Structure 1
Amino acid sequence: MPLQRARTLVRWFVQPLSGPERSFWRVVTSCLLAAVTLWLLNALNKTYTTRISYPLRWTYDADHFIPVRPLDEAVAVQVTGRGWKLLRNTLGLEVRPAEVVVRRLPISRSLPASALRPALIGTMEGLQLNAILTDTLYFEFDRLTERRLQLRLSPASDGSALPFAARFVPESVTFRGPATTLNALPNPYPVHLPQAPAGSTEGSIIVPIGGPALVQTDVEQVRVKLQPRPLLTRTLPVVPEPRNFPANRRFWLRPAAVPVQVEFFAEDSALLGPGQVRVLLDYRQLHLPDSTLQPVLMPLPARVRGARILTPTVRFSTAEALPPADSL
């Protein structure tokens, strides 16, 4: 029986849609819309007390100062007013923001919300201000300055110099923003390549400048022409590292230090020393007829662009022979 009653009820609702009574539902829908509209109009004509967020407009010396953190866009208040006025404020229709005037910059860093009462009352049309729910507005400003910096290519991700030089067009860029941020920028300013090209190129590429937050530049990108760079050379004396040598047996090597010629760029000169280059001597590679070993270079750091051992062999001798004057 319950199932039969449910089927009868569904049929009663659906049957007018498929028969000549289809207009019945149009009448029902129109009545519902009219009822909802009348209810909404009646509700909006009533008076309510509620909490809203009222928009703010900040006034300060924008030619000489800049906010270094976001300013509050609204303040929480409790108001009384008709539903129409509250709806208009919620939708942001024809709402005049309350003006917040900031003086004594950059010393001032806060403002009591009670100081906004005159501005709020003067801009709230049709609303009665009951209370300001926000205690204090906090802000931070810095002096707005400009600084012009020369440009240079930033080093590789490992800190080593890049294998090419760069010519920028323009050669310098003007940065505009907070004084504290601009004073911390390096001079010359490093420009990062989107993707470091292999080798050198005679063409040019377009590179964005970038920069910290709140800092603007007079140009958004520069043209960079890459050119090959000459390598510097230096000869380093490197003491070989013995491996697989007989234990408890005294031996000598001649020469005791192997000269290694390395190639590098000028920026890496201060970081380059004997400890950066290692040479290996493996006893298992001993050439018995003349008792010599061939030195082998260990993996080089990224700042070393090339290296070669100037001494092809190292003579090995044991305690049975007299040690040479220049041996260990």
Structure 2
Amino acid sequence: MPLARPARLLRWFFSPFYGQERSYWRAVTACFLAASTFWLLNALGKTYTTRITYPVAWRYNESRYVPVHPLPTEVPVNVTGRGWKLLRRQLQLDLKPAELTVTDLPATRFVTARMLRPALQQSMDGLQLNYLLTDTLWVAFDELISRRLPLALSPAASGAALPYAAQFEPASVVFRGPAGKVRSLPSPYLVHLPQAPAGSTAGDIRVPIGGPELVTTNVQDVRVRLVPRQVIRVPVQVVPELLDAPPGRRYQLTPATVRVQLEFFPEDTAAFRPEQVRVQLHYGQFTNSDSSLQPFLAQKPAQARGFLVLTPGVRAKEVK
């Protein structure tokens, strides 16, 4: 039989262990543990060359600048060292990160291997740095600024005005973060109601402020008191502008005008002029099966509290 010889070998190997007492097995286990310990100690005492990732810590003026993307926390390197040192790195035991000081902000966009090497060599206790496995660490910083913005109530999701006047407490909020993001925030900053208030609107509600990533506020939410207000709807007929059409061709639009409904508070209607409204059509962006173009409101007066584009589509026919 092809398996007879391997079976005899296994019986010969395990036969000394049959019928032994518990004290015998304890002795065998102790021998195996001692041998494994001596082997491990011997292996950790040898010198190895391998690839590891070494932690880095960034030093910069945190009161004036902020990273707009997460900074690298480790850098891949090739090192030589004893097994004990490599094991300590793997277990993160008493490990000193390499400190990288970044100056000339926010112009600095990268840190080269030439800049990384001295910091790594200084922090690697017991490890020899052979070379870096990356040439460049990319960074992005922006100036840290603060900006105080007044608050206003945002229109409904459909663009329609809410028939409320809002009183905010506090009336303004300080936003702090990267200059590019903070400066792009609108003034006034729009506060969105979590849901349409039901029943009486004379009560107070708490509304979270929110904000873009990396931007913090001096308050997490504001107290909003809603007071019912009259909203006046003003219809406007606007001649749309056709964009992105092939050059040298003429098109006839049907209908020739687009109906737009603007919503104002009573005191804002006096300053309204129809020429303040612009509607655009983007050639090729068809909205339904009849190949009509969806009109978009491109410009509206600043005092408008809401708007609705009532014309669902406009057909563009080439004129020969």
| Pairwise TM-score range, normalised by the shorter structure | 0.5 to 0.7
- Contact persistence 2:236–2:262 (CA under 8 A): no
> Could you tell me which residue of structure 2 aligns to residue 203 of structure 1?
203
Which structure 2 segments of 5+ residues have no match?
A: 238-260, 275-305, 309-320
Alignment of 1:177-188 (within 5 A): 177-188=177-188
Name the CA shift for 1:236/1:113 in 2 (closer, same or farther; >3 Å).
Answer: closer
What is the alpha-carbon distance in structure 2 between the residues aligned to residue 234 and residue 119 of structure 1? Answer: 67
RMSD over equivalenced CA pairs, Å: 3.4
What is the alpha-carbon distance in structure 1 between the residues aligned to residue 236 and residue 137 of structure 2? Answer: 64
Give the drift of 1:166.
1.7
> Could you tell me which residue of structure 2 aligns to residue 249 of structure 1?
none
What is the alpha-carbon distance in structure 1 between the residues aligned to residue 77 and residue 262 of structure 2? Answer: 70
Alignment of 1:1-328 (within 5 A): 21-22=21-22, 25-232=25-232, 265-266=264-265
- How many residues get paired? 244
SS of the counterpart of 2:181? helix
> Could you tell me which residue of structure 2 aligns to residue 293 of structure 1?
none
Give the drift of 1:180.
0.9
Q: For 1:78, give the aligned amino acid.
A: N
Give the drift of 1:149.
0.4
What is the alpha-carbon distance in structure 1 between the residues aligned to residue 235 and residue 64 of structure 2? Answer: 56
Give the drift of 1:79.
0.6
- Contact persistence 2:57–2:100 (CA under 8 A): yes
Give the drift of 1:221.
1.3
SS of the counterpart of 2:80? strand
Displaced runs of 4+ in structure 1, greater than 3 A? 19-35, 233-237, 262-265, 267-272
- Contact persistence 1:153–1:192 (CA under 8 A): yes
- Contact persistence 2:163–2:229 (CA under 8 A): yes
Give the drift of 1:196.
2.1
Which structure 1 segments of 5+ residues have no match?
A: 238-261, 273-301, 305-328
Name the CA shift for 1:37/1:263 in 2 (closer, same or farther; >3 Å).
Answer: same
- Contact persistence 2:68–2:178 (CA under 8 A): yes
Give the drift of 1:114.
1.7
> Could you tell me which residue of structure 2 aligns to residue 283 of structure 1?
none
State TM-score, norm by structure 1: 0.65
SS of the counterpart of 2:187? coil
SS of the counterpart of 1:71? coil
Identity %: 55
SS of the counterpart of 1:87? helix
Name the CA shift for 1:171/1:24 in 2 (closer, same or farther; >3 Å).
Answer: farther
What is the alpha-carbon distance in structure 2 between the residues aligned to residue 198 and residue 26 of structure 1? Answer: 77
Please identify the structure whose Cα radius of gyration is greater.
1
